[in-house]
Structure 1
């Protein structure tokens, strides 16, 4: 069962993000819903879940007045059930197609066409644009026209990792809501209570999640995720001791699946951040708690300066990929940046 469907109790049923939920509840209480919102924050922290909950609330008919959106979804009315099952006719989700690099202008034109039509069942047409930063320039400019002249019953909900990835002209026409990383204690408590994870495993997953509730849920629901993580980190830990030929082979293998590349780079970024902490003798602050012995040994050899340089190199690589630089070429450059440890 998906995260979006698993809770049937009335309410938002979201771990953390109280500041954002409170803002939305107050907006709903005075019936002053804006035409467009932008939810920002790191991947896997709950942006998609919060946006779907907000959309569900906007369409919910289970409040005191069925004609007015309540302050929280009832999770029981027909409208709520349709949203939870992904088949509400007035909720539209736009995302980058798996076979394309961008959200394209045709998708935004379709949004414009749909937004001009009357609602099928609800009081509003709600459009979710997942990963709005992935719109190409044509699509972004096309969306701008909709933001400038919105239909009265249309609400646009955009998500992106960072507001700086969108056009300033779009930012000036949306209400921005920033989401933040959760604490390990929040994640651990949620895993124990909602997912019935035992205390030891919950503590480990909460530490590895690095504030990302969505990642923690994936780790619980998909056992292969932790296995894959361990494999990737063992490969990364071995990189300083292998030559360029092997490094380029690894780059080639990773670039074969661009969808996974960013997730792997985020994992690497956490590793090298941990290396910086280990070099500062702050092992207790590291995320990869199950590999602290490796971090301690390698940091003693690589050192703080090289570890910090690698953090910047990975960030540069991620930025290059966002600018559509060739994935394999970018990874090969990164491989050359990895410090070398003499095995002799």
Structure 2
């Protein structure tokens, strides 16, 4: 979560006005649902929006007549505790770094906590980022809470795609879809809200591909862009490697201590091959990885657009297999076999 200073009352989220408006109207009518599902691509602000809703539900700052009363004040003790992740009535349930799934034991703990009285606020709020990582037992266990919710409990789940959850879960939540932002929106936010120099903001907003969360992390983590470039250079070399070398690479990136990075890595691959597809069709102005344009153009010259398009489909297939609990190493080895071969 960003540590960017929040000074003004409000949700302080770039974009996603439609979803915020729906939540504000529900707050005004005192008709907050017991469960919400925030849907959208990774790192666009789903978990941030969940935290802002938690702040609003627990805010003790009182309404400000100058602005909407359905906004968190961001200054009261409750708002600051939610922001910094230490409010006793806000519980985050997520996959452990060394685990492949959110486990049934974690959902049972959620149920135990939801049955208890709140510690400080009016609500018990449970946020489940990337709820698609619940295994089948955990997902079925969550259904009991969704079917028989406690009156003061609010569940907020996030997923990239609604189809990654059981239909029985989807039928018991209110879904809010979040969309990718424009590069202009991200650039302006970085300049005005984070005081980023215009030239750097231009690069980061292009690389972010509509993901404000990614852009914020990129400006707060000095090593992130260097690591991204290293990953892309390795990716660019994969078509030149032998089958054995490709399998060695798949083994390394699916090792237990790196499995948590796999989702981000596949997203990076998708953007790279999307850029190759655009470059092979002479749409260079639309590529995301603008700082690696020369390498993209060199590879695109050797790559029919049909091959790039099929590779994108193969990466999506591998990601879907992993999300459906296929062994990640097996899914990556199949992808390695499907990657085209050519010399850089």
TM-score normalised to structure 1 length:
0.94
Matches within 5 A, 1:164-203: 164-203=163-202
Question: Offset at 1:16?
Answer: 0.9
CA distance in 2: counterparts of 1:147 and 1:84, whole angstroms: 26
Corresponding residue for residue 334 of structure 2: 333
Residue 8 of structure 2 corresponds to 9
Match of 1:92 in 2: 91
SS at the partner of 1:13?
coil
Contact kept, 8 Å, 1:16 with 1:182, in 2: the verdict is yes
2:309 maps to 1:308: yes
Q: How does 1:275-290 map to 2 (within 5 A)?
A: 275-290=276-291
The answer as to whether partners of 2:164 and 2:323 remain within 8 angstroms in 1 is no
Deviation at 1:304, TM superposition (A): 0.5
Ranges in structure 1 where 5+ consecutive residues have no aligned partner: none
Secondary structure of the residue that 1:223 maps to in structure 2?
coil
Q: How far did 1:6 drift?
A: 2.6
Determine if contact 2:98/2:259 at 8 Å carries over to the other structure: no
**Counterpart Cα distance in 2 of 1:171 and 1:4:** 32
Q: Which residue of 1 aligns with 2:17?
A: 18
2:51 counterpart of 1:52 = yes
Question: Separation in 2 of the partners of 1:178 and 1:146?
Answer: 23
Alignment coverage as a number of residue pairs: 339
Q: Does the aligned pair in 2 maintain the 1:5–1:85 contact within 8 Å?
A: no
CA RMSD after TM alignment: 1.7
Q: Does 1:141 align with 2:140?
A: yes
* Aligned equivalents of 2:240, 2:89: Cα separation in 1: 55
Change (3 A) 1:161 1:240: same
> What are the superposed Cα offsets for residues 38-74 of structure 1, whole Å, 9 maximum, x if unpaired?
0011111111111000011000111239xxx940100
Q: Is the 8 A contact 2:98 2:260 kept in 1?
A: no
Query: Residues of 1 paired with 2:63 and 2:261: CA distance?
Result: 45
Equivalent residue of 2:155, what SS?
strand
Q: Report the TM-score when normalising by structure 2.
A: 0.94
Runs of at least 5 residues in structure 2 that lack an aligned partner in the other structure = none
Deviation at 1:157, TM superposition (A): 0.8
Contact 2:132 2:323 in 1 (8 A): no
Shift >6 Å, 4+ stretches: none
State the match for 2:293 in structure 1.
292
Q: Within the alignment, does 1:116 sit opposite 2:115 as a pair?
A: yes
Residues 110-132 of structure 1: CA deviation (Å, up to 9, x unaligned): 21121112222211111111221
Residue 216 (structure 1) shift: 0.5
Residues 304-324 of structure 1: per-residue CA shift (max 9 Å, x gap): 011111001111111121123
User: What SS does the aligned partner of 1:315 have?
Assistant: helix
Give the distance between the partners of 1:342 and 1:33, measured in 2 at CA. 57
Measure, in 1, the Cα distance between the counterparts of 2:113 and 2:132: 21
Indicate conservation of the 8 Å contact 2:314/2:335, yes or no.
yes
SS at match of 1:205: helix
Q: Distance in 2 between matches of 1:64 and 1:221?
A: 32
In 1: Cα distance, 2:249 partner to 2:111 partner: 44
Q: CA deviation at 1:332?
A: 2.1
